[in-house]
Chain A
């Protein structure tokens, strides 16, 4: 299998602001999954731009920046699972990271005592401290020798055994010795005290470590006990006239501390609580994230966020480095963020724990006196002393304005690939997000277009062109529309109007229009060429005037069938098969060449590229003819002085329908190459390189676009040349703006008949005609090849069931620690009554909008609902069914019951009073049955059945309902009052059944921790038997599984692996042999499992938890492949190899890239070890690694290819293969 990522993970691990380019501006360094990117946010662009992105092939744990004194840019430090400290410098010209250091300090992997869990860098860039969760701490000293050489010391150790670290921070001490602060907890006593008293009395300490730069050692300088709940530290600016120290935050506690302080010096703030009727006034908050921002004059403030998402601004009152008091004021409420970045330009970038990332514009600094402010004099330093808790009323955003939303699917909870919209390619439907920010998203492979103008036409048009009047014009003036038997000329001005007296022949169909010479226009029609001189609009209205025109008539009984033209060259093909070639004469007239090209076949299309800058004419002409071939002719004299000589010939699989030649950006040494685009009648699109010097055709990419002839229009997209390909739907063929790779992506637009490039004074875009409509649109963003539509949901979605007949999805949603709707409304109603009784009717509190403020929380409670989502017609939720108090939907299936004439019911597994800590518990478990209406768009409660254990898996099976109830597998039929059990297997798996999938009589049952079990259903005996006959040898914490064929299962586990297991053929055969399964029951269990074992076929570490896996086709006419969705927003595919030769070549390429000494993995991690994190990678090739080949420079590519032993390996061959592996299966 070939593993590829279709969509990168979008869960942000960390983001920080720095100047990595060294241009004095700020960029954002962001780590998503195992990908490191640099973003630029600018007001001019009205958004962000990704300028660099690279896969590190390792688990990124932390990122940091450092800048040594005198440095001009920030360097990057990476803490990953590699057991190495790696530092990088970003080289903007080469768009790559250049390694500075790579220091190995421990074993690879994420381990308890290997540093890397925490990382802190001295603000002056002098030292880096790495700490592990327990015991180990390492300090590296950075110094500068010479101009730019940064040296790193050997590590200094500051280990302390039996000590847990909660947080690590580098203090700001100016230029004194670097000091690091940690929150530590020593559990030595707790480990030896059998009474358990010591464990209750352990103390958390704030420890200061000083790095003595002179003596080159590190000392534990000072420590003091802090609040037991303390969890996070923030740096307080230090140096001259600044206080230095830390903000130590814990539950209901933000306190300022510094080294060697007295108890009385500690300044503490309580965290304000929400004042709302649905809030418990005694619930305490913690700080989960925040940021320090320093203003120009040395002032500073913090934005700290609580676990509710409320952001508070904390400021200090200082007199000459002494802190008098600290103040806190409500700022705004945002979703819970993992990282908040403040940019100097006034932007706030927030990477949220779930859902879209957002860039806000900082409107004001939150100094509104209307918002309540509290200061440290109001609160005792010891949090256990009594005090009045502060309260505030949350309100909509006041200080921040939404600037841009960066879409993110993180976290994906379930996925289904279907074609409910009945388009040619299927859509990927995912349920994403948590809490009130949950969404149902439909993702399509398409480019986003901006619709600009849409206007009706008097009649149907078949083709459209735009033209300038003279060669110097900057913008297009005329739009020429070809109707059935006439031509319409429109002039672009303030409004678009029909133009008169233009000299055009209007009583015929037009084949083409071209601005010719300096100030002429030619119109090519079936009977000849009209050459119009000096068309102009003297009064700037629609009345034109010309200096006459000249008609070139085609020879009698022959018509023009195809043409190609540029500013100085014209070629026409006649119905008899000749090609005539014209050039622009010195007096701008058409000069026909003596030489004609006689072809024996009909010519279907011709192409001549635009004249390259600085040359008099284009060199090549391509001719497509009905003998299924393309011929290339030269238009400039060759060595013998001849022109119109055939230079090369290419045979095709079908008759060419259209040709285009243009220069497109690519990764060749010049940056641009000449490309020949060939469209075939069969709907296949071919892109080849047309060699500038000898007219050879090479480096071909082929792709099927749709079942109609392909036609082209050369356009500009995002200021780069591109080609619009029109078949059943429009496509764009372009170079990816970041990687320069060749891409072909459909446009997210209606299908149209003809298109042309359009350059207006306001915008550049594409003009097209669709029936009797004229439309103009532009394409500005080429970096994302997916378009997503989202529908908001109520709570965290858990699973969904598709109804292909009704084309809707039934989504079950549930939120832990949340008050359900009924209770919430009761609380609000009671509050409303109270307020009325107080005569305070104006202050009637409305419920806060949940998407911003989240649902009101209450520990241990569940809120849950079932929603019907229509992603096709209404794009909305069409019904919501709230479940009762503390109920939680855990599984769902749509079942047509055979005993009820296939009437459809929705079965939902429900748990009441579910809790996970310390172990899984619940009060009761049920299966609810809902009757689905005939149109599938509404649900009605039917009945409920009690089960003795949690029902985490449901499946429609042979007209009945199959349910995994705890460890047991049961089959139910519908009854009047409840479900009736028809078959049952106790202890089918060992832990808990979490998933079911089926083919025929075979069921594959996934267990929570014990991989999958194959079960066969024997229906011909009474009672029916469900017999487990094969299971796995390895415990896999299965999250999802799907049968790829009758014997093979692909699945994912909670540790982030993808795997495939296969039942041995003899076992598979034997299981289906008998009708009663008697011999299967007689088989002896083997090692407390089933009698047989399955074999592992494939294993791959994906670094994201797969939550759904399916075997579907992603493209129109594409092969079925395995598609998986990861929790962090990854969409990936597994493609089987069809040819042994291709496989050998890619395998060798992977090995070569892996062991490439010059380009080691950015994380310092060994690639093979990374992909074999838990268990050795097997039967899979990492396509993401192979695709890094495409980003290499040409000489590096040649070097790599030279090391491949596969016969016939060349750079082009490898590139083509890599392109095919992606483009023919996915996008």
Chain B
């Protein structure tokens, strides 16, 4: 029992520390949002990738960067309605 408790505590610590660590009740929305946000953060963070996208879109890198961050607010659409 003590082991289980410790495991639980460790998991909670991880969840507090790192965004996106799952739990048994992770919804599809949370999960896909996390993936999409991680991907976008990676696109912004790798300079060649941001440049590649900007060239395709025909706009400055700064503009692409802002558009991508905006996408992080709600990357996979509206959250599902809570079941009552």
For A31, the closest partner residue in chain B by CB is B47
Chain A residues near B42 (CB-CB < 8 A): 110-112
A335–B25 Cα gap in the complex (Å)? 51
B78 touches A195 (CB 8 A): yes
Chain A residues near B80 (CB-CB < 8 A): 194
Beyond the given A194-B81, A288-B60, A815-B58, could you list 13 further A-B residue pairs with CB under 8 A, ordered by the A residue number?
A: A61-B47, A81-B45, A117-B45, A133-B45, A134-B37, A164-B72, A166-B69, A187-B74, A193-B78, A288-B63, A353-B60, A1127-B55, A1128-B51
| Given A194-B82, A196-B78, A1105-B49, A112-B57 contact (CB < 8 Å) | no
Total number of B residues with any Cβ neighbor in A under 8 Å: 38
A411 touches B55 (CB 8 A): yes
A1104 at the interface (CB under 8 A from B): yes
Chain B residues near A990 (CB-CB < 8 A): none
A202–B46 Cα gap in the complex (Å)? 27
A202–B70 Cα gap in the complex (Å)? 11
In whole Å, how far is A411's beta carbon from the nearest beta carbon of chain B?
Answer: 6
Dominant secondary structure at the B interface: helix
B62 touches A11 (CB 8 A): no
B63 touches A286 (CB 8 A): yes
| Given A164-B73, A307-B63, A816-B56 contact (CB < 8 Å) | yes
Chain B residues near A231 (CB-CB < 8 A): 62, 66
- Total CB contacts across the A-B interface at under 8 A: 139
| Given A338-B61, A1103-B48, A353-B54 contact (CB < 8 Å) | yes
| Given A112-B19, A232-B62, A353-B51 contact (CB < 8 Å) | yes
Near A by CB (< 8 A), chain B positions 25-45 give 33, 37-38, 41-42, 44-45
A199 at the interface (CB under 8 A from B): yes
B47 touches A13 (CB 8 A): yes
A190 at the interface (CB under 8 A from B): yes
B59 at the interface (CB under 8 A from A): yes
In whole Å, how far is B6's beta carbon from the nearest beta carbon of chain A?
Answer: 23
Chain B residues near A61 (CB-CB < 8 A): 45, 47
Interface residue ranges, B against A (CB under 8 Å):
18-20, 33, 37-38, 41-42, 44-49, 51-52, 54-63, 66-67, 69, 72-74, 77-82
A134 touches B41 (CB 8 A): yes
Chain B residues near A917 (CB-CB < 8 A): 57, 67
Chain B residues near A288 (CB-CB < 8 A): 60-63
| Given A796-B58, A1055-B49, A1103-B48, A185-B78 contact (CB < 8 Å) | no
A289 at the interface (CB under 8 A from B): yes
B41 touches A434 (CB 8 A): no
A818 at the interface (CB under 8 A from B): yes
In whole Å, how far is B78's beta carbon from the nearest beta carbon of chain A?
Answer: 4
B63 touches A133 (CB 8 A): no
A161–B62 Cα gap in the complex (Å)? 24
| Given A134-B19, A164-B72, A166-B66, A194-B79 contact (CB < 8 Å) | yes
Near B by CB (< 8 A), chain A positions 91-145 give 110-113, 116-117, 132-135
A112 touches B41 (CB 8 A): yes
Near B by CB (< 8 A), chain A positions 183-201 give 185, 187, 190-196, 199
B49 touches A1054 (CB 8 A): yes
Name the contact of A110 in the complex, choosing from B46, B55, B61 (C-beta under 8 A): B46
A1128 touches B41 (CB 8 A): no
For B45, the closest partner residue in chain A by CB is A110
A232–B37 Cα gap in the complex (Å)? 21
Point out which of A133, A187, A190 has the most chain B C-beta atoms below 10 A from its C-beta: A133
A336 at the interface (CB under 8 A from B): yes
| Given A113-B19, A134-B37, A1126-B45 contact (CB < 8 Å) | no
In whole Å, how far is B64's beta carbon from the nearest beta carbon of chain A?
Answer: 10
Chain A residues near B41 (CB-CB < 8 A): 110-112, 117, 132-134
Q: A679-701: contact bitstring with B at CB < 8 Å (1 yes, 0 no)?
A: 00000000000000000000000
Chain A residues near B20 (CB-CB < 8 A): 112-113
Chain B residues near A1055 (CB-CB < 8 A): 46, 49
A1086 at the interface (CB under 8 A from B): no
Chain B residues near A135 (CB-CB < 8 A): 19
B58 touches A816 (CB 8 A): yes
Chain B residues near A229 (CB-CB < 8 A): 66
| Given A338-B61, A796-B58, A190-B74 contact (CB < 8 Å) | yes
A338–B72 Cα gap in the complex (Å)? 23
Near B by CB (< 8 A), chain A positions 1-35 give 11, 13, 33
A194 touches B78 (CB 8 A): yes
A11 touches B47 (CB 8 A): yes
Chain B residues near A1126 (CB-CB < 8 A): 48
A1050–B82 Cα gap in the complex (Å)? 50
In whole Å, how far is B17's beta carbon from the nearest beta carbon of chain A?
Answer: 9
- 8 A-B pairs with the lowest CB-CB distances in the bound complex, closest first: A816-B58, A110-B45, A112-B41, A288-B62, A194-B81, A196-B78, A817-B58, A199-B74
In whole Å, how far is A119's beta carbon from the nearest beta carbon of chain B?
Answer: 13
A916 at the interface (CB under 8 A from B): yes
Name the contact of B33 in the complex, choosing from A191, A434, A817 (C-beta under 8 A): A191
A132–B67 Cα gap in the complex (Å)? 17
A111 touches B38 (CB 8 A): yes
| Given A161-B19, A199-B78, A202-B73, A1127-B52 contact (CB < 8 Å) | yes
Total number of A residues with any Cβ neighbor in B under 8 Å: 62
B58 touches A59 (CB 8 A): no
A286–B73 Cα gap in the complex (Å)? 20
Chain B residues near A909 (CB-CB < 8 A): none
A1056 at the interface (CB under 8 A from B): yes
Point out which of B52, B56, B60 has the most chain A C-beta atoms below 10 A from its C-beta: B60
A134–B41 Cα gap in the complex (Å)? 9
| Given A59-B46, A110-B46, A1054-B49, A289-B73 contact (CB < 8 Å) | no
A231–B67 Cα gap in the complex (Å)? 10
Chain A residues near B18 (CB-CB < 8 A): 113
Name the contact of B56 in the complex, choosing from A111, A166, A353, A916 (C-beta under 8 A): A916
For B62, the closest partner residue in chain A by CB is A288
Near B by CB (< 8 A), chain A positions 318-340 give 336, 338
Subset of 7 A-B contacts with CB under 8 Å: A11-B47, A110-B42, A112-B19, A166-B66, A202-B73, A434-B55, A817-B59
A81–B35 Cα gap in the complex (Å)? 19
In whole Å, how far is B10's beta carbon from the nearest beta carbon of chain A?
Answer: 17
A33–B49 Cα gap in the complex (Å)? 12
A60–B77 Cα gap in the complex (Å)? 33
Name the contact of B60 in the complex, choosing from A60, A111, A195, A336 (C-beta under 8 A): A336
Q: A934-947: contact bitstring with B at CB < 8 Å (1 yes, 0 no)?
A: 00000000000000
Chain A residues near B58 (CB-CB < 8 A): 434-435, 796, 815-818
For A195, the closest partner residue in chain B by CB is B78
For B34, the closest partner residue in chain A by CB is A112
A1050–B44 Cα gap in the complex (Å)? 27
Chain B residues near A164 (CB-CB < 8 A): 69, 72-73
Name the contact of A411 in the complex, choosing from B51, B72, B78, B81 (C-beta under 8 A): B51
In whole Å, how far is A190's beta carbon from the nearest beta carbon of chain B?
Answer: 6
Chain A residues near B77 (CB-CB < 8 A): 196
In whole Å, how far is A207's beta carbon from the nearest beta carbon of chain B?
Answer: 16
A921–B80 Cα gap in the complex (Å)? 27
In whole Å, how far is B58's beta carbon from the nearest beta carbon of chain A?
Answer: 3
A1104 touches B48 (CB 8 A): yes
Chain B residues near A166 (CB-CB < 8 A): 66, 69
A1104–B49 Cα gap in the complex (Å)? 8
Name the contact of B73 in the complex, choosing from A13, A187, A195, A796 (C-beta under 8 A): A187
Chain B residues near A1056 (CB-CB < 8 A): 46, 48-49
Chain A residues near B44 (CB-CB < 8 A): 117, 133
For B66, the closest partner residue in chain A by CB is A231
A191 touches B52 (CB 8 A): no
A816 touches B73 (CB 8 A): no
A61–B44 Cα gap in the complex (Å)? 10
Chain B residues near A60 (CB-CB < 8 A): 47
Name the contact of B52 in the complex, choosing from A116, A307, A353, A1105 (C-beta under 8 A): A1105
For A915, the closest partner residue in chain B by CB is B57
Point out which of B18, B41, B48 has the most chain A C-beta atoms below 10 A from its C-beta: B48
